[in-house]
């Protein structure tokens, strides 16, 4: 956590944030993944306010954030009382995943307890839950003593915020929005989402930092991809979750991916965009050079070839490039391998939703 975050992390500020949540207000706060826009998960009016402020369709479910039990550094922590008010039943697998990865960037989808508000589940009978690892998020949740729904603190469909300044620029018009500053987010992309609601097979609904391979090696639990379960479970049964729209995480500047060594091919697909192009290149690659395209002004942006570092800087880079007035942003296609699946997923959705007219296909 960066210095500026810890200075502001005073008891008085957290108490004010807790009171704001209790009064039905919104509080933006840092998690290890991205900044969330939080509201009391038991307050229907506060939840509606989140949808209004974000411009998010109300049939989109939200993730409930919970505090870890007070003694969560012990070997065996009892998470059951924490989850009991929210979920209908807790399987052995669920408890294994929780013991291994909470607090952390893993969201689990359960059949919901009947008391869970329809406003936060998008009318579904499932609820998505995680315990964030960021110390400020944990402190806020512990003092609040309840669940907080918190989608990313940005306008619907746009690039998620990874610093307090991002949140401020996203909601400049909401002057009284309380924002807890916890420095830059370490993980940088949203949590992995696993569906446990069907009872038979854990299913990966959104890739993230925690991969099926890591889950298997730490817990012995096999997580399936929806495509692997085609015959076993029809996709129509799969719960809707955050970040599953085709267009999402998108900059206003047109964004495209290029295959290794194919920058010029990517440019030739845009005959009308010939002026200023930002090209992200791997730190391990040699320089592109400008040969062959005299009408284009290239600027190279170096991106890390390590998947975790790439993820932690992805939204920061997209936001910065979006504000620099390029005509086109080109990103290299991430390499094969499940550790890249999370950023590949975000980049594909960002490309699809990008460009000045992105508001028109947000709805698709």
pLDDT at 272: 64
**Res 73 pLDDT > 90:** no
Cα separation, 287 vs 118, whole angstroms = 52
- Is residue 159 packed enough to be buried (19+ CB in 10 Å), middle (13-18) or exposed (0-12)? buried
Cα separation, 58 vs 117, whole angstroms = 13
pLDDT at 72: 54
The percentage of residues in the chain with a pLDDT greater than 90, rounded to a whole number, is 72
Structural contact between residues 132 and 138, judged by C-beta atoms closer than 8 angstroms: yes
CA atoms within 13 A on the CB side of 334: 21
pLDDT at 239: 86
Superfamily classification of domain 3-237: DHBP synthase (3.90.870.10)
pLDDT in tens, 226-271: 888 765 555 557 888 888 888 888 999 999 999 988 887 877 776 6
Average pLDDT over residues 296-307: 89
| Banded model confidence at residue 205, pLDDT cuts 50, 70, 90 | very high
pLDDT at 231: 56
**Res 360 pLDDT > 50:** no
| Banded model confidence at residue 295, pLDDT cuts 50, 70, 90 | low
pLDDT at 119: 95
Cα separation, 43 vs 230, whole angstroms = 37
Q: Is the dihedral of CA 315, 320, 326, 332 positive or negative?
A: negative
Kindly report which listed range (105-109, 127-131, 135-139, 286-290) carries the lowest average pLDDT score. 286-290
**Res 363 pLDDT > 90:** no
Centroid of chain to Cα 105: 9
pLDDT at 362: 40
The percentage of residues in the chain with a pLDDT greater than 70, rounded to a whole number, is 88
Average pLDDT over residues 33-53: 97
Cα separation, 39 vs 101, whole angstroms = 24
Tell me where in the chain the CATH 3.90.870.10 domain(s) lie.
3-237
Cβ neighbours of 302 (radius 10 Å): 13
In three-state form (DSSP H/G/I as H, E/B as E, the rest C), the secondary structure along the chain is: CCHHHHHHCCHHHHHHHHHHHHCCCCEEEECCCCEEEEEECCCHHHHHHHHHHHCCCCCCCCEEECCCCCCCCCCCCCCHHHHCCCECCCCHHHHHHHHHHCCCCEEEEEEECCCCCHHHHCCCCEEEEECCCCHHHHHHHHHHCCCEECCECCCCCECCCCCHHHHHHHCCCCCCCEECCCCCCCCCCCCEEEECCCCCCCEEEECCCCCHHHHHHHHCCCCECHHHHCCCCCHHHCCCCCCCCCCCCECCCEEEEECCCCHHHHHHCCCCCCCEEEEEEECCCCCCCCCCCCCCEEEEEEECCCHHHHHHHHHHHHHHHHCCCCCEEEEECCCCCHHHHHHHHHHHHHHHHCCCCHHHHHCC
Tell me where in the chain the CATH 3.40.50 domain(s) lie.
254-362
Cα separation, 285 vs 280, whole angstroms = 11
pLDDT in tens, 140-169: 999 999 999 999 999 999 999 999 999 999
Q: Which CATH number fits domain 254-362: 3.40.50, 3.30.2010, 1.10.10, 1.10.1660?
A: 3.40.50
Average pLDDT, the chain: 89
């Amino acid at each position: 956590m960066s210095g500026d975050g810890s200075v502001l992390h005073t008891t008085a500020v957290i108490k004010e944030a807790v009171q704001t949540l209790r009064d039905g207000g919104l509080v933006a706060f840092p998690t290890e993944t991205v900044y969330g826009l939080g509201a009391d998960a038991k307050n229907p009016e506060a939840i509606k306010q989140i949808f209004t402020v974000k411009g998010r369709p109300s049939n989109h479910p939200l993730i409930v954030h919970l505090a870890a039990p007070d003694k969560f550094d012990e070997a065996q922590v009892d998470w059951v009382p924490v989850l009991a008010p929210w979920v209908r039943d807790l399987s052995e697998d669920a408890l294994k995943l929780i013991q291994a990865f909470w607090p952390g960037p893993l969201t689990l989808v359960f059949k919901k307890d009947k008391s869970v508000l329809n406003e936060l589940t998008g009318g579904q009978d499932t609820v998505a839950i995680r315990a964030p690892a960021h110390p400020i998020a944990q402190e806020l949740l512990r003092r609040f003593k309840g669940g907080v729904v918190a989608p990313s603190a940005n306008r619907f469909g746009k690039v998620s915020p990874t610093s307090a300044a991002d949140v401020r620029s996203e909601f400049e018009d909401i002057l009284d929005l309380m924002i807890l500053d916890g420095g830059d987010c370490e993980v940088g992309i949203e949590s992995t989402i696993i569906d446990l609601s069907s009872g038979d097979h854990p299913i990966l609904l959104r890739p993230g930092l925690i991969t099926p391979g890591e889950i298997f090696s730490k817990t012995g639990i096999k997580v399936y991809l929806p495509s692997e379960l085609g015959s076993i479970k029809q996709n129509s049964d799969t719960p809707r979750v955050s970040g599953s729209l085709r267009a999402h995480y998108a900059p206003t500047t047109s964004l495209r991916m290029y295959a290794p060594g194919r920058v010029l091919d990517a440019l030739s697909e845009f005959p009308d965009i010939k002026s200023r192009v930002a090209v992200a290149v791997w730190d391990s690659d040699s320089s592109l050079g400008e040969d062959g395209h005299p009408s284009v002004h290239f600027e190279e942006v170096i991106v890390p070839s390590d998947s975790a570092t790439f993820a932690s800087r992805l939204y920061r880079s997209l936001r910065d490039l979006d504000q620099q007035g390029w005509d086109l942003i080109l990103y290299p296609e991430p390499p094969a391998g499940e550790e890249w699946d999370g950023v590949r997923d975000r980049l594909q959705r960002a490309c699809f939703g990008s460009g000045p007219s992105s508001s028109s296909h947000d709805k698709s």
